Amino acid sequence: MGWGNIYKRRLKVFTLALVIYLDYKAVQKREKWFSKSKKEALWQRTHERNAKRVLNLMIEMEGLWVKLGQYLSTRADVLPEAYIYLLKQLQDSLPPRPLKEVHQTIEKELGKSINDMFSHFVEAPLATASLAQVHRATLGDGQEVVVKVQHEGIKEVILEDLKNAKSIVDWIAWAEPQYDFNPMIDEWCKEAPNELDFNHEAENTRKVSKNLLVKSEHDDINYVNRVDVLIPEVIQSSERVLILQYMDGIRLNDKASLDEYGVDKQKLVEEITRAYAHQIYVDGFFNGDPHPGNFLVSKEPPHRPILLDFGLTKLISSSMKQALAKMFLACAEGDHVALLAAFTEMGLKLRLDMPEQAMDIASVFFRNSTPASEALENVKSLADQREKNMKFIQEKMKLNKKEVQHFNPVDAFPGDAVIFIRVVNLLRGLSSTLDVRIVYLDIMKPFAESTLLGSIRTKPALNSQWIYDSPIHSDVEAKLRQLLVELGNEKILGIQVCAYKDGKVIIDTAAGMLGKYDPRPVQPDTLFPVFSATKGITAGMVHWLVDKGKLKFDETIANIWPEFNASKKDMIKVHHVLNHSSGLHNTMSDVMRSNPLLICDWEESLHRIAQSAPETEPGSQQLYHYLSFGWLCGGVIEHASGKKFQEVLEEAFIHPLNIEGELYIGIPPGVESRLAALTLDTEDLQNLLEINRRPEMPSSLQEGNLAEMASAVPVLFNTLNIRRAVIPAANGHCSARALARYYAALANGGSTPPPHSLVSKPLLGSHAHVPTFPSFKQSKKKLRTKEIDNPDTPSKKTDGLRRRGCSNSNSPNNNKGSNIVDINIDDDAQKSVKRIFSSPKIHDAFMGLGDYSDMVIADGKFGLGFRRFNTAAGNLMSFGHSGVGGSTGFCNIEHNFSIAVTVNKMSLGGATRSIIQLICSELNIPVPEDFSRFGEKGPDMQLNLSL
């Protein structure tokens, strides 16, 4: 092109941008002198004037600017009508190239003369677009075709314009960081060379046609999510020439002809949308350029869409496809947890925690389309939303007005998502152009669901990825994995099982999926909601404070928590709460019925607990405190320690046990992508209808529709508000290996076990307990320079792994799942054993035995905070706590054995019981009665309704 032409092109673009800017600013100042009716005419003339300027420049410049014009011409939902009317000429009506040039290109590319290839070649092009023009022709055998011929020299123009655009975008990002369009231009630069090679387009056309099962105009095959579209057959291709089957159709911008043929425009656009939903969510291979010029409509009923031009076609990975589907369904369901997880999965990183704002922004992509007449209203709505979000960012980050204008909340944006967003916007513009309303959430939902549900429907097998690929620690673990496969996905969605014996890990298995709509595999560090298993952690915190001399079991709670003295609670002592005999068993049940999200307010919940009145005399009856237990203990913990609940949790257990990042009561921002999502076993739901009232359960759990109550639990506890709240009776989130390690310490009298299995990846404790968001002030160049300058300096994490004798790898290639591994702990690790409890009678305290027997109800199911697990022979050597749906954790002190099971498919605990029966049998450990086939179940195992 030459430097002279390059600079001329740049000068023309910047000059026009300045002229248009000054024109609009001048009109803004003048409009205040006009009446309302004249203002509208003034703005209309302004739009027409500047739209002509833009059109003329784009036609003159060709190349990239025509592509931009094509994109803008479809945005009838946000641009003035004058721009849409003029710029739509760029879709396929540019000035044609000389016929001589076209003939030369064809003959050079295909190696034959025009007369040898075609019996007839129509001189006037059917359409002329930014990269090529299309002519109708007839092959020697009589077949009607179209010949797409690339413009001479257009490749150089496009590539040079991309460089210029990249320079402009870099400058904008430097001057206004909140307008960083680098991911978009980078993705365009990556894909443009493929669009300029028609061999790629030919292959793309064949692939999309095959994916959509497009066969012929008279194909009547019918199946679920069938897409009824047509795609021309590829006849021949080269780098700059493409010959396709001719299809007679109506252009989408020819509204008169569409009406004349009686085309149902609503149905037409819906089918186009379905075709793109199939390409994106099912195939992961989609056309990135759905502007009106790339479609025709068949003239014969049922007037199918004809899809054209697959030059810009994007292939995305299976994980990205799943993430996009998850993002879509998260917007459809208003699921903030799933949305933040989808962002992480697709590589989109934010610089601050903004779930509500992220949902608002993401939902904009899938909002219903509107007619062009509502463009101004849409622009205003989007501007208002942006202003609202910027205000939130300003307050959240404590920025001044100037700083917030330079703040970009996105730290990293995935290139794969750029074309996806472009496609969704183009489809919306297409709808607006044809004046139809499209409900994208309804049309695309079945395709997104099929992507996320597909792999779950496959029956698990030992050689599949259903069992997470990790080394087997023992013979019993090998047998456990066989049992999990036998139980299958009818009883298990996602599961973790971890067990310690004599301080050593003998089982650490994960299997299944993270959720019904999340086919990612469960891994050892996945966080499961464990419901009432949380009570065992909370009770341990009370014991820890007693052990440290901060609290006494027989202390009156009102003495340390003055507000608690209200409503005749002056006789309630700490041990009454731990033993579920305080008389406050139904407290907060009214809140769960009237305003469930109120339980997310920690201070308000404590206040209501403090103001509540007991229903029975303290110490007289043991009635399960299914929700109140957590706040009662939480209030005691905070007032006795003078610290926040979560600070005590970290000090008492998280740090000493080295389980950072894998045990929470109230998750922090940044761990959403590791969360398992809850669902309900529908078969067990029916069984709830047959369960009689249980006298030992709180009366509030004996009333009402049990099935309805059970159905509501997973919905409520999947929400971000609940998961982030501190609810010490119900919303613990942990991995099985963290929970098992906790009980391993309790089983051994409070001594911390040796380090967890070194082949369990990622290593237990390797996650930051509270993830941090990247600073927007951080210089990426400096970071990269530092890494390059110090290539041999190990990170703290890597150095730590080396000290522990393990490489920094997530793939245990040296120990495949078929091997049984033996983990040897070095001498330094053995010497570092610490005690989290010092009392020699700590086991008696946990179970309410010996000196503590007068603090519990005789023969009651609970000791001091823990469920007492008897064996069939009547021995009491085990304690722990189960949760709704089947998650559990407990230990046997006689055998120095601990186990944790975490599940996300909530049931009556049948799978968990089978697992524990197998493991205990193999290890010759008595099965606790709660988990035996015929034994009496604890409150959480009985009704599966307590939280």
The DSSP symbol for 472 reads: B
Tell me whether residue 289 is one of the annotated catalytic residues: yes
Tell me how far the alpha carbon of residue 51 is from its chain's centroid: 41
Axis crossing angle, helix 415-433 with helix 318-333, rounded to the nearest 10: 50
Residue appearing with tokens 């002592």: 573
Q: What is the largest CA-CA distance in the chain?
A: 106
First to last CA, the chain: 71
In 3D, which of 149, 188, 136, 152 has the Cα closest to residue 296? 136
**Mapping DSSP to helix (H, G, I), strand (E, B) and coil, where does residue 273 land?**
helix
Across-strand partners of 251? 296
Helices and strands, number each (H, E), in the chain: 38, 25
For residue 165, give both structure tokens. 């655009």
Per DSSP, helices labelled H in 696-750 are: 699-702, 706-717, 720-724, 736-747
Q: What is the dihedral of CA 101, 105, 111, 117, to 10 degrees?
A: -70
Provide the sign of the torsion angle of the four alpha carbons 686, 692, 693, 696, taken in this order: negative
Burial call 823-855: b when 16+ CB within 10 Å, e when fewer: bebeeeeeeeeeebbeeeebbbbbbbbeebeeb
Backbone angles phi, psi at 412, to 5 degrees: -145, 135
Across-strand partners of 498? 508, 900
d(CA 761, CA 770): 19
d(CA 305, CA 258): 12
Read out DSSP for 565-602? GTTT-TT-BHHHHHTT-SS-TTTTHHHHHH-GGGGG-H
Cis bond upstream, residue 928 (ω within 30):
no
CA angle in degrees (0–180, nearest 5) for 758-760-765 = 75
Which H/E stretch holds residue 523?
Answer: none
Residue appearing with tokens 């999309």: 208
For residue 619, give both structure tokens. 């110490």
Catalytic one of 289, 508, 547, 940? 289
Which H/E stretch holds residue 215?
Answer: none
CA angle in degrees (0–180, nearest 5) for 151-155-160 = 130
d(CA 209, CA 279): 10
- 780 CB-contact burial (10 Å; exposed 0-12 / middle 13-18 / buried 19+): exposed
Axis crossing angle, helix 318-333 with helix 336-346, rounded to the nearest 10: 160
Q: Are 326 and 366 in contact (CB under 8 A)?
A: no
539 CB contacts (<8 Å, ≥6 apart)?
578, 633, 846, 864, 865, 866, 881
Q: Are 438 and 273 in contact (CB under 8 A)?
A: yes
Neighbours of 638 (CB within 10 A): 19
d(CA 145, CA 709): 64
Residue 368 to residues 332, 359, 429, 498, Cα–Cα distance (Å):
12, 15, 11, 47
In 3D, which of 661, 608, 652, 614 has the Cα closest to residue 631? 608
Catalytic residues: 289
